[in-house]
Chain A
Amino acid sequence: MSMRLLALIAAITAAGCGKAAETPTSPTTTAPTTILFAGTLQPGTTRFYSYTLNTAGTVTAMLASLERSGTPMPNALEIGLGIPAGTGCAVSAALNSSSQLIPHLKQDFGIGTYCVRISDLDGMPAAMNFTIRLIHP
């Protein structure tokens, strides 16, 4: 009888106070997302690219490269950040810039759908290949 009792006590004590072991988790950090918007821009035209922000934060855009037949071009183009509207991108911040590898344009946005726009306002002599680097949270 005493053996039965001991077994019963052991079973109850082993299973009664079972608390699931908690695995410690490391804090998570979300790395920024980089978008490369590349294409050919015809003289006097505009192109835009839409993207979605799932986290509010600062968006930066830069004209990373501008070239024609492999030759870097010094022309300044307008880079803008905004919201897709109608058949284009309604920009809320814009500046004229030649290609540089530093962030040119910065703006804070909430969660939503946005766009980056590139425009030739000064009239390039010919079509050029561009790359815009956009970094967002």
Chain B
Amino acid sequence: MKYAACFCSLVLTLLTTSGCSGDTPTSPTSTTTTTTTSTLASPVYSEDFNDVVSVNGSTFYSFTVTQYGTVNISPTSVSGQFVPSTVTLGLGLGTPEAEGCSITTNISTASGAGPQLTGAYNPGVYCVKVSDVGNLFSAARFAVTIAYP
């Protein structure tokens, strides 16, 4: 019985040490981990999007972000016949697609001081879309400032 147990141990040892011989041993490799820190750039460029939005209509403006950073969209004025300066319009940010602007962020807002739509964006082409959300009785002239890195 003692002999059988010893033999069993020997067989197990042989199997576990030499059984899987298919793999060629490789030298240990050193791994270098590079940590990239993305710095959020502040807006450097500024463009004015001045246009007219018709009743139930929309219009958009494209711009190119050249480095990862903050994009600020500021509607600065709305005017027009039968259009109160406090009227709420749709303001969206997205990417140009087909004949429109496919928005990923959207708010309804009146014009006012300071950015009303802001976010961090990677380099690429983006668009701002201004639309009537059902408040207009006649076409509205608007101004939107787009600041981006």
Cβ-based interface call for A101 (8 A): no
| Residues of B contacting A: mostly | strand
Residues of B within 8 Å of A19, CB to CB, are 22
Q: A47-B99, A52-B97 are in contact. Are A16 and B127 (CB under 8 A)?
A: no
| Residues of A contacting B: mostly | strand
Q: A85-B64, A86-B47 are in contact. Are A112 and B8 (CB under 8 A)?
A: no
A85 to B101, CA, bound (A): 12
Chain B contact residue count (CB 8 A cutoff): 28
A63 to B20, CA, bound (A): 64
A122 to B43, CA, bound (A): 40
Residues of A within 8 Å of B11, CB to CB, are 5, 8-9
Interface string of B91-105 (1 = CB under 8 A from A): 000011111000000
B96 near A113 with CB under 8 A, answer yes
Q: A12-B12, A16-B15, A17-B22 are in contact. Are A86 and B125 (CB under 8 A)?
A: no
A49 to B62, CA, bound (A): 12
Cβ-based interface call for A43 (8 A): no
Question: In whole Å, how far is B115's beta carbon from the nearest beta carbon of chain A?
Answer: 20
Residues of B within 8 Å of A84, CB to CB, are 62, 96, 125, 127
Residues of B within 8 Å of A51, CB to CB, are 97-98
Interface string of A63-107 (1 = CB under 8 A from B): 000000000000000000001111100000000000000000000
A1 to B63, CA, bound (A): 80
User: Which residue in B4, B7, B22, B97 is a CB contact (below 8 Å) of A50?
Assistant: B97
Closest Cβ neighbor of A16 among chain B residues: B19
Interface string of A19-56 (1 = CB under 8 A from B): 10000000000000000000100000001111110000
Residues of A within 8 Å of B59, CB to CB, are 87
Cβ-based interface call for B61 (8 A): yes
B8 near A83 with CB under 8 A, answer no
A17 near B20 with CB under 8 A, answer yes
A13 to B16, CA, bound (A): 9
A9 to B11, CA, bound (A): 8
Cβ-based interface call for B60 (8 A): yes
Cβ-based interface call for A127 (8 A): no
Q: Would you give 10 A-B contacts (Cβ < 8 Å), ordered by A?
A: A5-B4, A17-B20, A17-B22, A50-B96, A51-B98, A84-B127, A86-B62, A86-B63, A87-B49, A87-B59
The residues of B with any CB-CB pair to A shorter than 8 Å are: 1, 4, 7-8, 11-12, 15-16, 19-20, 22, 47, 49, 51, 59-64, 95-99, 124-125, 127
Extra pairs beyond A52-B95, A87-B49, A115-B96 (16, CB < 8 Å): A1-B1, A1-B4, A5-B8, A9-B11, A12-B15, A50-B62, A50-B97, A50-B99, A50-B125, A51-B97, A84-B62, A84-B127, A86-B63, A87-B60, A113-B124, A113-B125
